[in-house]
């Protein structure tokens, strides 16, 4: 995340690069996704990220027509590799984290007021894809849930335990 002390042009370039990487990631996930509906959602997210990139190119005085998603990024390649091995649902927690980081950084950027709403919509969409909209409401309202990278592991363990306990209770109840 760029520092507020950086000049606007430097911040805008960092934002532009992040949006191009996000667009590349969503397009790659659309190619990996087997469900046509989910693939189309990823394509729509990529298009939105390209609109955000166009916003930053305009602020930088560059030509938005020359924009292309940034495909040669290690983060994009890693997420795509994971999505191919484990499915796109496996990478959604990291995508959600990225969208929440975008919301936070753009909320304090006067030139990004219009983008913040889009990023919130992206987070809701990804939450719907992950099937955990209720968890998103908690994460959005209570910032401490996303303050460290161990939160994803903690959420996975707690979710797994909840699933095991619920199923065990059901089996025990039926057996009784």
148 close to 89: Cβ distance less than 8 angstroms:
no
pLDDT (0 to 100) of residue 21: 92
Q: Classify 61 as helix, strand or coil.
A: coil
Q: What does the pLDDT average to over 128-157?
A: 57
Determine the Cα–Cα distance for residues 112 and 165; give it in Å rounded to an integer. 44
Identify the band that residue 117 occupies on the pLDDT scale cut at 50, 70 and 90: confident
pLDDT (0 to 100) of residue 90: 87
Determine the Cα–Cα distance for residues 141 and 35; give it in Å rounded to an integer. 31
Determine the Cα–Cα distance for residues 149 and 146; give it in Å rounded to an integer. 7
Q: What is the pLDDT of residues 35-74, one digit of tens each?
A: 899 999 999 999 999 999 999 999 898 888 888 888 778 8
């Amino acid at each position: 995340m760029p520092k507020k002390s950086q000049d606007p042009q430097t911040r805008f370039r960092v934002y532009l690069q992040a949006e191009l990487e996000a667009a590349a990631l969503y397009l790659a996930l659309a190619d990996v996704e087997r469900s046509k509906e989910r693939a189309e959602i990823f394509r729509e997210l990529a298009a939105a990220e390209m609109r955000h990139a166009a916003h930053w190119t305009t602020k930088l005085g560059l030509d938005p027509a020359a924009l292309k998603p940034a495909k040669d990024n290690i983060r994009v390649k890693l997420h795509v590799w994971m999505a191919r091995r484990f499915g796109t649902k496996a990478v959604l927690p990291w995508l959600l984290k990225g969208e929440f980081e975008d919301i936070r950084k753009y909320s304090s950027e006067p030139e990004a007021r219009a983008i913040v709403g889009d990023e919130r919509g992206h987070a809701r969409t990804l939450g719907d894809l992950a099937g955990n909209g209720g968890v998103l409401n908690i994460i959005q309202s209570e910032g401490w849930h996303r303050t460290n990278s161990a939160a994803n592991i903690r959420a996975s363990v707690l979710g797994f335990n909840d699933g095991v306990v619920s199923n065990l209770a059901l089996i025990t109840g039926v057996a009784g």
